[in-house]
Structure 1
C-alpha cells in the first residue's frame, strides 16, 4: 500500500484506467482515486480515460494525447487482464501500477501489482490506500 502512495507522490502526471464497459465499482474507484489525488496534490495533473456507458452518466473522461503518457504514471483499477482494459494506451506509460480486488493474476507487464482479493470491490481497496495516506 505504501508503494502505491510512493508512486503517486513521485509523478506529476497520472492517468487512471479501468475496464471497458464499466460498472459502478470501476467508475467509482477511477473517479474517486482521481479526485482524492487532486484534493491531496492540487498541482498534479490527473486524468481519467476510457469508454463510457449509461452506468457512467455522472463521470467525465478526459481527452488526452498519446504524448501525455511519456512522463506519466498509469494506474489501472478494477482489472488486471489486458484485453479488458479500456484504452490500450496504458502501454505507453513511463510507469504502470495495477490496483485490483479480483483473484486472477495479471498478464500486464507492470511496475507494481497491488491485489487485495479479500475486498469485494476496487472502491474498498482504494479507500484502504487513501486512509493509509492520511
Structure 2
C-alpha cells in the first residue's frame, strides 16, 4: 500500500497531530530578540503549545519553556505566546494543573498552556501549507 498524501502533498503524521519543525523551543539568551512576526515561528509555537512545552511562571505571566518535568527556563518566543493568548488561540490550563518547577535554584509554581479550539484549527490549517519552491 502506498502512502497517501493529503490535499497539500504532505504525508499524514502517525499520531494525526501536526509536529513542530524544531526539536526544542529556544530559551532566551542575553541580548536576543523575539521573532514573533515570523509565520514559521508561529506554526512552531502553536505546535509546541499543543504539546505542552510552554507555561506561565507564577503570577508574573512570564512565559517559560519546560526543559524537564521539574525545570523551566525563560522562553525566547514569549511575545508570540502572549499574542496567541490575547487573540484566543491559546489559554491557561485550569489551576489544578499547576506544577512546581525549578526556575534557576528556586522552586516556583508554573501553569501550563493549551490550545483552544480556534488554535487547534489554525494549527491544522497552517501545518498543511507548504512553501513555494
Higher helix share: 1
Q: RCO greater where, 1 or 2, for CA within 8 Å and sep 6 or more?
A: 1
Higher strand share: 2
TM-score between both structures, scaled by the size of structure 1? 0.28
Which structure has the greater CA radius of gyration? Answer: 2
TM-score between both structures, scaled by the size of structure 2? 0.29
